[in-house]
Structure 1
Amino acid sequence: MGSHGTDGYWNHNAHYHPLVLAAVPDGCCSALEVGCGDGMLARMLSRVAGSVTAVDRSPEMVRLARRNTPAGGRVDFRPVDVLDESSGAELPHASFDFVCSVAVLHHLGTASGLRRMAELLRPGGSLVVVGLARTVTPLDWLVSAAGVPAHRMLARRHGGSVEPAGMPVAEPAESWAEVRRTSARLLPGRRWRRHLLWRYSIHWRKP
């Protein structure tokens, strides 16, 4: 398990922000966060990347992220749906050194979301996804149960888990195995890991 997020509150998503930040390549000039929510991760990315573009298809979330970001913050928040065909004008192909998303891929669909994020990477760029999947098999349920005591311990340590108001919520439709297979097919050589707090991570470098 990674350490907790350091820019505000703690929850299962913020817990894995350090995993994302650790994957930002040295000398990263341009980073993109897909599904920025209230902007917490994007603000942390701005400390380790030359420029950060953070998009969300919810205009309300983008307004909140802008309000939460100090004046002069080096993040360009935009209300963009990356799957919309018109998003190419805002987000040209192969234009980012680093692309990431946290708890967003199940809103987009694994295949469509991964294809689009891969398109946005420059050759040699890095993609990191932290996501959720549907619990189906007995092994899934066993691993999920193991996360309960970890959650309780960490929530006590951080004074509870905070879920920001207004964040879009959706149950994942695809199982752990389906996400694993789809990511392997679309991102050859990707690294997959299942984490304790009901999340998985995908790391991939574009050839």
Structure 2
Amino acid sequence: MPFDHNDHYHRLLLRQMPPNCRTALDVGCGTGRFARRLAGLGIEVDAIDPSEEVVAEARAMAAGPAPGDRGPRFRCTDVTEVRLPHAHYDFISCLASVHHMPFGTVAALRDALAPGGVLVILGCYPERTLLDWAWSLAAVPVNAVVRLAVYARDGLGSAATGRTQTQAPVTRPTMPLLQIRREAAALLPGCRIRRLLFWRYLLVFRNAG
């Protein structure tokens, strides 16, 4: 079915951008859909992912921009092994990628934010409590309806073109939302976290600088 939960929340993430955003970092960019949306807004975008296969796909999909357009700079690298520029980025995004790395990595992302910059995490968490399961059960019928609606709108999706898109490696989340809240409060003081319907949470941290 041609429906991606991360893509569904792109507009929500974009609404968190600071005014006059000029530089952005997309961590765990996958095939680069969100990075391309950022670049399409005229933002200078660095996009990183540890998978060579998906980075190659991202570069191929970003090839041939219109004259004057600046596409994302895709790099195959692990954010836990690279030194990020200090106080540089106005906007840092992580879409379903933080659970692939130690949560403490958010401290390095925090330090890479320019004054007034914003870190947004669209994260995944495992069901551990009754409230977790209640949200998951509520999402199931909505998810089915949305998938059918998107399928009806887009037809056979990628199958219609005969092309299968490369998929980023998937790891199941292990850190419960309660623990995420505790660790985020220590590492990202003042951050806001809220549950989203499709098995996701949104974390927003603004660097008062």
TM-score (norm 1): 0.88
Runs of 4+ with deviation above 6 angstroms:
160-163
Give the counterpart letter for 1:176 in structure 2: L
Displacement after TM superposition at 1:145 (Å): 0.7
- What one-letter code is carried by the residue in structure 1 that aligns with 2:116? G
1:47 to 31, 35, 40: 40
Aligned to 2:26: 33
Q: Which amino acid aligns with 1:10?
A: F
Residue 144 of structure 1, aligned match among 136, 149, 153: 136
Report whether the alignment pairs 1:16 with 2:13: no
In the alignment, what sits opposite 1:132? 124
Instruction: Tell me the secondary structure at the aligned position of residue 203 of structure 2.
Output: strand
CA contact (8 A) 1:100 1:128 kept: yes
Distance 1:99 1:49, change over 3 A: farther
Structure 1 residue ranges without an equivalent (≥5): 1-8
The residue type equivalent to 1:157 in the other structure is: A
Cα distance in structure 2, aligned partners of 1:35 and 1:95: 18
Work out the percentage of aligned pairs sharing the same amino acid.
38
Stretches of structure 2 that go unaligned for 5 or more consecutive residues are 159-163
**TM-score after normalising by structure 2:** 0.87
Number of residue pairs the alignment of both structures matches: 194
1:32 is paired with a residue whose SS is strand
Q: Is the Cα contact below 8 Å between 1:24 and 1:48 reproduced in 2?
A: no
Per-residue CA distance 1:151-171 (angstroms, 9 max, x = gap)? 011111111898954311111
Q: For the residues of structure 1 that align with 2:15 and 2:53, how far apart are their CA atoms?
A: 29
Aligned partner of 1:75 in structure 2 is: 72
